[in-house]
Amino acid sequence: MSFKTKRVLAATASAVVATLFLAGCAPASNNDSANCDNYSDYKGFEGTEVEVYTTIIAPEADLFVESFADFERCTGITVNWNGTQEFEAQIAVRVEGGTAPDLAIFPQPGLLAKFADSLVPASAKLSESVDANYSPDWKNYGTVDGTFFAAPLGANVKSFVWYNPKVFKDNNYTIPTTWDELLALSDQIAADGQIQPWCAGFGSGEATGWVGTDWMEDIMLRTADAETYDAWVTHGIPFNDPAVATAIGEAGKILKNPDYVGDVASIATTTFQDGGAGIVDGTCAMHRQASFIGGILAADHGAVIVDPSNTEEANGISVFYFPGASADNKPALGGGEFVAAFSDRGEVAALQHFLTTPLWNNNKAKLGGWFSANKGLDEANVADPVNKVAVQILKNATTFRFDGSDVMPAAVGAGTFWKEMTAWVAEDKSDEAVLDAIEKSWPKN
Amino acid sequence: MAINKKAKDIFASPVASAIAVIVAVLWTIPTFGLLVSSIRPEQDINQSGWWTFFTNPTFTLDNYTQVLFQGSTTNPPLFQFFFNSFALTIPAVVFPITLALFAAYALAWFNFRGKDTIFFIIFGLQVVPLQLTLIPLLQLFSKGLVIGGVTLIPDLGITGTFIPIWIAHTIFGLPLAVFLLHNFLSQIPRELIEAGRVDGANWFTLFSKIVLPLSVPAIASFSIFQFLWVWNDLLVGLTFGGGVKQVAPMTVRIAEMVGSRGSGWELLTAGAFVSMIVPLIVFFALQRYFVRGLLAGSVKG
């Protein structure tokens, strides 16, 4: 599960390194003189400390610390950023042992739910701020059994189609806004015969097939409603339910169509790192993948990540939104972190609240390589072109859902789902056989 | 005697020596590769294996300077943690040995009822996995001990200091220490102790003038054990440090050095060697006691 999370982080990482560099050259912070008016809500806690326990460690952690500078100066609260890779194991020990941190940043909602008994429920003020700044889907992921605990922090998005803007312009292709337009465009590209419409790669060592599960999840969100998606992920409906069959059928229209992808079986043996290489040199037109692939294509295949409006760069790659069934059906697939409090001290509540404000989200985004689902986040503060599209996707999203295979039991989400999606392309296994096999493997309790 | 001689012959044969050398070389190759990697530039480490060093030698100490001295608030240099490790390890070696020496002395030479039972209980405690005790002990340190409304141990407010880590290591080290030292001390010739008694020495004088000087090999060998164990420990330091960086040992820092995406692993090679250097010094300084001490405590008769 954390496998994909790490991949996503990898993307942010390369961006972070770049921006760190740029930040060094920027004129000394223009809000240096920022007066403390914005922080008047958080007064009265001078000399206190708040410990933030998290999986986020260097180099990303430095940017977080930097983003708290004004807050610390104006409020007198010291933020102790305590990042560790052992978070998932240690948080349980610390909570049980009576040394729980003040705030913990949970990388996934499932882990958060296990600590509901020890967490401090959100104050009315925090709840209000989250209502104002985030969509209800995000609030739901921080809610356990009807009690709202954890406010969203950062976000990542997977509903991307990567493409080469220059290739699109040279061939007069327009960016599709609905699923039907996407298929029509694929047909058009196939008919032109110059470029292969799609390329994909499922290969990823032991995790081969996870790319296929992302495809399925993204399409499931589009062909079925969010409730059906949730039921599918939690096994409220069987894996071979007709709704799931529809989704895999739609996925097959692209992935199992030799006119679109060339040799279908080769998808299984192409690594995900190389899967999108074709869009860089213009031999294939579209590639559905999460944001991190940009960094890999740039490093391995000389791609340049550009703004969608830049149609001049030959090796330029960019992203558009993986379209929904209709132009106003805009679900988004991705992930994010959630901040929960184990302590009800005033300064802890102050920091937890501050992290939900557009003020902090904008300041943090300005430092680079990061974005959130905060509605107050100004796209202008997000420098990376792909992250900028991601922010737009999150803002326009009608629904937001976590990567389903991360939430499913490991035997399925990191096991048969991967394997069967691989067999689906490699052995041309039928939709029904694939879904039946996964359904059979779902752990019974 | 005969058995010893035979054993000696076997181990002195050229074949046995050759096997020993081969095993030692095989055993050392990975560590050697790590050492070579640690002095290669980052780009070379990422692009080629360490063995290419010999055909294309590139040498740098960048990894070491970066590991030891460079860093940021959230990514502090290893240098600071070096001192933490010392501050943790030295008391965590001295405490259990001191306590265990007194206990072993009493168990070996005093006559009191239930002496054997106590010894067996202490010995038996070795089978308790320390992972089981993590959470109860942590609760003890953070909340004190209250049974049925009676406060037996108050909340001492020691979380986030070195003290819980010292106590934890002492507790975990004691059973083995008492066992080894007891077996060693009980082999001191009775005549020596009795001669001391006749000369009018009390139990404490006996301990300090006769028992202590005689048990130096056992103390040294156990010190090496305990030192290596505490120095290399990650779990106890991580857990009982309460997640506070100010008291975290080097191992905790090294575990995070690789970064959230595992991109900093060239730093790990250097970090590993920085942490390895102290145990090596301790081992070589005390090794002449080591073999003696090992045999002395463990074999009776």
Same domain, A217 and A271: yes
Please write down the HEC assignment for all residues of B75-90: ECCHHHHHHHHHHHHH
Evaluated on CA atoms B266, B269, B270, B274, the torsion sign reads positive
Are residue A25 and residue A120 in the same domain, yes or no?
yes
CA atoms within 13 A on the CB side of A289: 31
Are B164 and B243 contacting, i.e. CB atoms less than 8 angstroms apart? no
* Two tokens, residue A231: 């039921």
Question: Domain-by-domain residue ranges, chain B?
Answer: 1-60, 74-298
Give the single-character DSSP code of A120. P
pLDDT for res A20:
43
Q: Which of A69, A306, A301, A50 is nearest to A167 (CA)?
A: A306
Q: What is the pLDDT of residues A2-44, one digit of tens each?
A: 444 444 444 444 444 444 444 444 444 444 445 788 898 898 9
| A303-345 pLDDT, tens digit each | 999 999 988 988 999 999 999 988 888 999 998 899 999 999 9
Chain A positions in Cβ-Cβ contact with residue B142 (cut-off 8 Å): 97-99
Q: What is the mean pLDDT of residues A239-265?
A: 95
C-alpha A98/C-alpha B247 separation (Å) is 18
Q: Which value, in Å, is the radius of gyration of the alpha carbons in chain B?
A: 24
Q: Are residues A415 and A308 in the same domain?
A: yes
> Is A64 within 8 Å of B74 when comparing Cβ atoms?
yes
A6 and A65 in a single domain? The answer is yes
Q: At what angle do helices B265-298 and B62-69 cross, to 10 degrees?
A: 80
Cα separation of B7 and B75, whole Å? 53
CB contact at 8 A, A256 and A428: yes
Question: What is the average pLDDT value for chain A, to the nearest integer?
Answer: 88
Residues in A closer than 8 angstroms to B143, CB to CB, are 98
Domains in chain A, number: 2
Chain B residue nearest residue A64, CA to CA:
B74
Instruction: Tally A–B CB contacts below 8 A.
Output: 88
Query: To the nearest whole angstrom, how far is the Cα of B130 from the nearest Cα of chain A?
Result: 14
Report residue A86's pLDDT band, with 50, 70 and 90 as the boundaries.
confident
Do A204 and A96 belong together in one domain?
Answer: no
Q: For residues B270-283, give the mean pLDDT.
A: 88
Kindly tell me the sign of the dihedral angle through the C-alpha atoms of A113, A114, A117, A123.
negative
Q: Tell me how far apart the alpha carbons of residues A322 and A330 are, in angstroms, rounded to a whole number.
A: 9
Are A36 and A77 members of one domain? yes
Q: Which residues pair with A143 in a beta bridge?
A: A148
Structural domain boundaries, residue A303: 160-330+405-441
Q: Write out chain A residues lying below 8 Å of B135, CB-based.
A: 93, 96-97
Pair (A307, A324) in one structural domain? yes
Cα(B287)–Cα(A152) distance, integer angstroms:
56
Average pLDDT, chain B: 84
- B63-93: pLDDT as tens digits: 888 888 877 767 778 888 888 999 999 999 9
What region does B72 belong to: left with phi over 0, alpha with psi -120 to 50, or beta? beta
CATH code for the domain in which residue A302 is found: 3.40.190.10
- Domain identity same for A214 and A139: no
From CA A414, how far away is CA A3, in angstroms rounded? 9
Same domain, A209 and A315: yes
Q: Does the beta carbon of A172 lie under 8 angstroms from any beta carbon of chain B?
A: no
Of B141, B142, B260, the CB nearest to A57: B260
Task: Give the ipTM.
Answer: 0.76
- Examine the domain organization and report whether A46 and A106 are in the same domain: yes
Q: How confident is the model at residue B262 (pLDDT cuts 50, 70, 90)?
A: low
Peptide bond into A59 cis (omega under 30): yes
Model confidence at A46: pLDDT above 90: yes
Question: Where does the pLDDT of residue B291 fall: very low under 50, low under 70, confident under 90, or very high at 90 and above?
Answer: low
Residue A382's contacts (CB-CB under 8 Å, 6 or more residues apart) are A365, A371, A388, A391
User: Which CATH superfamily does the domain covering B74-298 fall into?
Assistant: MetI-like (1.10.3720.10)
How far, in Å, are B35, B139, B142, B148, B243 from residue B145 at the CA level?
A: 47, 8, 9, 10, 22
Q: How far is CA B117 from CA A116, A295, B122, B125, B188, in A?
A: 46, 66, 9, 12, 22
On whether both A292 and A149 belong to a single domain, the answer is no
Query: For B135, which of A10, A84, A93 is closest by C-beta distance?
Result: A93
- Are residues A34 and A173 part of one domain? no
